[in-house]
Structure 1
């Protein structure tokens, strides 16, 4: 069962390699991801070589078995014994070598000595919460499902879970690391080139496990600093009548019990922070593109789109739905 799953995963990785922004270990753009890529290629090459040698020996043995032979002499038996011993020794060396190589590649996930940025990642059913700490509490902020990082900087990731075991995996940047309730794990990621890198929860965590994606957006330091400055600001106050009505509606409905919009009375912590939701590329952890239509569909019936999620159905008229989606779209 595990072998079949591993083969399926490897095939999916190979088929998606090289695509723009692909979720692929072969599209490595980070130091630890490059080490893991080399490890995978090395293991595949060695295993192919061993398989080829075994097949060659098997074919030779079968051909030789068809030829009538005399009883083997003691000298030939000793020679065969030495060959078997050599094969066993070679197998042990290969296994030991691959184990050591795996160990050193795994160390690449360790915490950097002097990280340039620390981000707390909290796994939820089924979305990602990213908390950007700062020595000055007024500069700390949080976002959901999309993590922005500066290029060429070691990022310390502190992992924790609010419910069940999740696994943080952005294959183009690093390997997997679990998020375990009651325990904090750490890892380091680094992007050497700007781009959008897709990630995924890699540990089965419930009904919507497959719809728990994340995106790491790596950008130049200047672009990152502009983004961070905008994220620290309060939510934009709407100016058009429809969005203004949507804001008033949001504050009257149960939405404020679960969501935060900084600069307003909405300060819930159960659901994602919506202060700048309009600036994200997707909603519902990568399930839908972030358009006004998608926002309206999600608000209208989240359980149909993502069954089992913790967002309750809030009855709304069509007019109220248009107002709320306009307000969400304006929060950039």
Structure 2
């Protein structure tokens, strides 16, 4: 159909269906991902609910960031909705006026739509869209820098030094001043600043205990980095390797056991004495199995001598019976789990360096009986619960 000469052809504005902008199937597909993301916000490795001054500052920075950005996002969304509604109303008005004056010319007449004075809208957008975000960013930058400075400042002289070496996929823990060597558990006194010297034996790892450290720190082969750790209260805190280091990176975890200072001193003093080796018949036979099958070539046990025990590539087992877990928190430390771990650790942690140990059942149980007796007097596993 041709438009009459001298007239302007006006098209009615097309209405957008909001349901077409975001397909329903896409929304339904994203809901499970949202549930998974929300479910991952809890647990023992959260930056919320920390137990030291540095962690509290980081938590405060996180809350300020979340709340302020949430408020700004809400303001932007409201402004966009208001602008969209105004544009829709203006479009409908223009269409109605154009329809009531079909003979109006393009230069003027009854069908002309007056151009509104949008100076105030421009000022509003400059203030809301430019000035306020700029002020927020400057303020947040200042707050972030002050928080970072306060977090990196060491809280006085350290009362304890711990060396932690990352291996695939476990943690070697040494107390140089006390002459203590253990694995996958770090025992510290509560209320004392602890200096942690971290390094790696093979590839780059990363040390992080969210509740106790002011962030993460890389563990690099051939280099020693330093981080401070502090626990205000006794408790058990979980840590994690946060640098991808191989197939079992996700299962390279640790626990920090914070105890009262007098309890820590008693623990350190007890470690100056030789460990209590089990003395029943089955355990003594287990010692022979341990030495004969080559276990001592990778694992050191204080009080036993074997070529290769020094500088062992596997965790020190001197106090394995007193630890809460096996395989860097891969399994709970129990008789059944220890037996299955020795039989084939790859069923729980594929890619570990320890090979399966095909032993007769009687030898395997004797070996487990020996390992379950390795502890210092008064330091049974139940005491850590």
Fold-level similarity (TM above 0.5): yes
Structure of larger gyration radius:
2
- Contact conserved, 1:246 with 1:326, CA < 8 A, in 2? yes
Counterpart of 2:41 in structure 1 is 14
Query: In the aligned structure 1, how far is the partner of 2:274 from the partner of 2:81?
Result: 72
- Which residues in structure 2 correspond to 1:274-313 (within 5 Å)? 274-313=317-356
In the TM superposition, residue 43 of structure 1 has moved relative to its aligned partner by 0.7
Query: In the aligned structure 1, how far is the partner of 2:278 from the partner of 2:300?
Result: 16
1:254–1:280: structure 2 CA closer, same or farther, 3 Å change rule? same
Residue range with higher mean Cα deviation, 117-126 or 265-274: 265-274
1:278–1:192: structure 2 CA closer, same or farther, 3 Å change rule? same
- Select the residue among 246, 265, 269 that pairs with 1:229: 269
- Which residues in structure 2 correspond to 1:243-262 (within 5 Å)? 243-262=283-302
Structure 2 residues not aligned, in runs of 5+: 1-33, 91-112, 376-385
- Contact conserved, 1:110 with 1:187, CA < 8 A, in 2? no
| C-alpha RMSD of the superposition | 2.3
In the TM superposition, residue 179 of structure 1 has moved relative to its aligned partner by 1.2
Query: In the aligned structure 2, how far is the partner of 1:331 from the partner of 1:235?
Result: 7
Query: In the aligned structure 2, how far is the partner of 1:164 from the partner of 1:44?
Result: 35
In the TM superposition, residue 275 of structure 1 has moved relative to its aligned partner by 0.6
- Contact conserved, 2:205 with 2:219, CA < 8 A, in 1? yes
Identify the structure with bigger relative contact order (alpha carbons < 8 Å, sequence gap 6+): 1
- Select the residue among 122, 134, 144 that pairs with 1:80: 122
Counterpart of 2:240 in structure 1 is 200
Counterpart of 1:4 in structure 2 is none
- Select the residue among 48, 71, 91 that pairs with 2:115: 71
Once the two structures are superposed, residues 264-292 of structure 1 have per-residue CA deviations (whole angstroms, 9 ceiling, x without a partner) of 10424211111111000001000111112
TM-score with structure 2 setting the length: 0.76
1:11–1:199: structure 2 CA closer, same or farther, 3 Å change rule? farther
1:161–1:112: structure 2 CA closer, same or farther, 3 Å change rule? farther
Residue range with higher mean Cα deviation, 121-130 or 82-91: 82-91
Secondary structure in 2 aligned to 1:171?
coil
Counterpart of 1:217 in structure 2 is 257
Query: In the aligned structure 2, how far is the partner of 1:104 from the partner of 1:222?
Result: 35
- Which residues in structure 2 correspond to 1:121-140 (within 5 Å)? 121-134=164-177, 139-140=178-179
TM-score with structure 1 setting the length: 0.88
- Select the residue among 52, 55, 71 that pairs with 1:33: 55
Number of residue pairs matched?
316
Counterpart of 2:147 in structure 1 is 105
Once the two structures are superposed, residues 218-241 of structure 1 have per-residue CA deviations (whole angstroms, 9 ceiling, x without a partner) of 110111112222334333221211
Structure 1 residues not aligned, in runs of 5+: 1-6, 17-21
- Which residues in structure 2 correspond to 1:41-60 (within 5 Å)? 41-60=63-82
Query: In the aligned structure 1, how far is the partner of 2:345 from the partner of 2:195?
Result: 33
Query: In the aligned structure 2, how far is the partner of 1:171 from the partner of 1:160?
Result: 19
1:258–1:194: structure 2 CA closer, same or farther, 3 Å change rule? same
